[in-house]
Structure 1
Amino acid sequence: MTTPTIGHLRAPGANLRYEVRGSGPLLLLIPGGAGGAAAFDGVAAGLADEYTVVSYDPRGLSRSPLDDPEARQSVEQHADDAFRLLELLSPGAPARVAGCSSGAIVALHLLVTHPGRVERVVAHEPPVVEVLPDAAEHRALLARVEDTFRREGLMPAAAVFAAGLKRPGAEAPAATELPPQAAARAERTMGDMPYFLGRIVPSFMAYTPDVDRLRALSDRLVLAAGEESRGELPYRSAAFLAERFGTELVHFPGGHVGLTTHPAEFGELLRKVLSA
């Protein structure tokens, strides 16, 4: 694995830790969940022979601390962090951007607000549930998650959240044996789960994208979803937008976390759609 160069960027209210690999046009990778930059370890090195690959820990995760640990979070603020990284690391040229899950929501907002800085965006399963016809049901899910978190704690709330993302009637997936590095990474992310579930999920899943503006920019937007997550909530959001824009929904290997479970195949397809 290519050893990254570590950098830090001071942003309003936070100190962002980022990693840089390779050379060439800038590719900014925006992680979802609580995984941080390490979520892209399985694909970043392979992309670094073609791009300057930048991954980072979003504000509030363990290696990108907030000045105020209790500060409210917003998609807009996280997208501004991504923009600041582009300004720092690719000041004279537009960049390519790929985001997964909540990171894909950030990527969508970045495209809308700074289209001149973004050449191509790959958004893998952004859970922008407010675009769906049954958005009210998903608001009720988030309310149940928040209530469970407050009354019973992290793990029961996480179980309610995970169940709500699945397609109706779906059985729990069989346990998947992760590669050793991925398993160790998953264990490390648990410390950031209260922050993610308590402050990222409620804010990000209440976000409503500018659909008209995204449609106008859809020639540089790739909406993607996992082969194994058909019918699940984040899949439905991506599919809905692709249908609205009249664009292809690109299917990646695995499910919502195919980046972790199928890193080689995920990375190769990502390379293809970035250069298409």
Structure 2
Amino acid sequence: MAVLDVPGARLHHTVTGSGPTLLCIPGGAADSAMFTPIAGLLAEHYTVITYDPRGISHSTLDDPDEQQRIEVHADDVLRLLDSVSEEPAMIFASSGGCMQAFELVTHHPGRVRTLVAHEPPLTSLLAEQPDIDPDELLHIHREHGIEAAMGKFMADAGFEAGGEALPPEMRKNMEFFVVHLMKMIGDFTPDYAALKASGTRIVVGVGKESAGQPAHEAAVLAAGRLGVEPAYFPGDHGGFAAEAAAFAPLLREILGV
């Protein structure tokens, strides 16, 4: 795993394979390990970059209490891409990681050839929004612990909660997500007009098995805002990990390179 120094942080990342650059952006409390099942399959065709976002797992911050901003996370993505190749790249983004991908494309449209955004949780588009309140989750975290806060989050988001005790690294990541990332992600609204005018090909993916979940339904509406049909992938919100063998060929087909 390599380290890239960026303003205020150090990004731990891996670069594997050869061919066109494909960067994978994890969402929420996830780190680069989320892409382990699929990265090897993709590395047969692409130069695959996976990374821990700032504040997550091995990517440390100069100031752990600094307010997190989407534009800074998007700049991290840009710096990672530039560290590998200056050619237009491809991005596969998951869940909340789609937000910094949208931000990057909006402000650096020529940098990304194709963006596949898998289930961006743009739940403000829903007529009946899920009851996910970052302030309430912060209160639950302080009063009852991170397991209780994440249990409430998972239930509200329509995901199946594990219920088991969290490993120390995952506990740290989930605390960082609840305290610093959740509001940043939830407050972000893409500039749909700018995205449509960017010249970047944008594909919005949804899981075949996640219909009815807020992130799936919001992603379908976001695709409509962008004037594209959603692409249906194997599995659910994390299908790229749980169904990697079936997911990877479809992703390669959509990327078209």
TM > 0.5 fold call: yes
Conservation of the 8 A alpha-carbon contact between 1:124 and 1:225? yes
2:104 maps to 1:110: yes
Contact 2:151 2:161 in 1 (8 A): no
Matched, 1:220 2:204: no
Q: Partner letter of residue 256 of structure 2?
A: S
Number of aligned residues? 254
Unaligned runs of 5+ in 2: none
Residue type of the alignment partner of 2:142: R
2:69 to 26, 51, 74: 74
2:230 aligned partner = 249
Question: In the alignment, which residue of structure 2 is the partner of 1:260?
Answer: 241
Task: Give the equivalent residue in structure 1 for 2:95.
Answer: 101
Choose which of 149, 172, 175 in structure 2 pairs with 1:157.
Answer: 149
Aligned counterpart, 1:3: none
Give the distance between the partners of 1:192 and 1:122, measured in 2 at CA. 24
Equivalent in the alignment of 1:144: 136
Separation (CA, whole Å) in 2 of partners of 1:259 and 1:188 = 22
- Residues 223, 249 of structure 1: 8 Å contact kept: yes
Unaligned runs of 5+ in 1: 1-5, 167-171, 176-184
Counterpart amino acid of 2:234?
A: P
Measured after TM superposition, the shift of residue 134 of structure 1 is: 4.5
Structure 1 residues 38 and 174: CA distance shift in structure 2, 3 A: closer
Give the letter for the 1:114 counterpart: H
Residues 165, 234 of structure 1: 8 Å contact kept: yes
How far is 1:245 from its partner? 2.5
Which of residues 53, 59, 62 is equivalent to 1:58?
Answer: 53
CA distance in 2, matches of 1:235, 1:75: 22
Residue 173 of structure 1 and its aligned partner are, at CA, apart by 4.9
Contact 2:57 2:173 (C-alpha < 8 Å) held by counterparts: yes
Give TM-score, length-normalised by structure 1: 0.85
Name 1:178's counterpart in structure 2. Answer: none
Give me the identity figure in percent: 39
Equivalent residues of 2:115, 2:200 under 8 A apart: no
Superposed CA RMSD in Å reads 2.2
Q: Is the 8 A contact 1:154 1:194 kept in 2?
A: yes
Contact kept? 1:129, 1:206, Cα under 8 Å: no
The residue number in structure 2 matching 1:201 is 182
Give the AA of the match of 2:236.
G
- 1:21–1:52 Cα contact (<8 Å) kept: yes
CA distance in 2 between partners of 1:153 and 1:259 (Å): 30
- For residue 8 of structure 1, give the secondary structure of its aligned residue in structure 2: strand
Residue matched to 2:120: 126
Runs of 4+ in structure 1 over 4 Å off: 172-175, 185-188
Q: Please tell me the residue identity of whatever aligns with 1:203.
A: M
Alpha-carbon distance in 2 for matches of 1:173, 1:148: 19
Aligned-pair CA distance for 1:133: 4.2
Partner residue in 1 for 2:8: 13
Q: Render the CA deviation track for 1:50-97: whole Å, top value 9, x for unaligned.
A: 111111110001211001111111211111100111111112x10001
* Deviation of the 1:259 alpha carbon: 2.0
Indicate how the Cα distance of structure 1 residues 165 and 126 shifts in structure 2: closer, same or farther if over 3 A, else same.
Answer: same
- Provide the C-alpha distance between the structure 2 equivalents of 1:8 and 1:134, rounded to a whole number of angstroms: 42
- Deviation, 1:247, is 1.0
Deviations 1:194-253 (A, max 9, x none): 111221112111111112212324760000011111121111221111122331101111
Cα displacement (A) at 1:27: 0.6
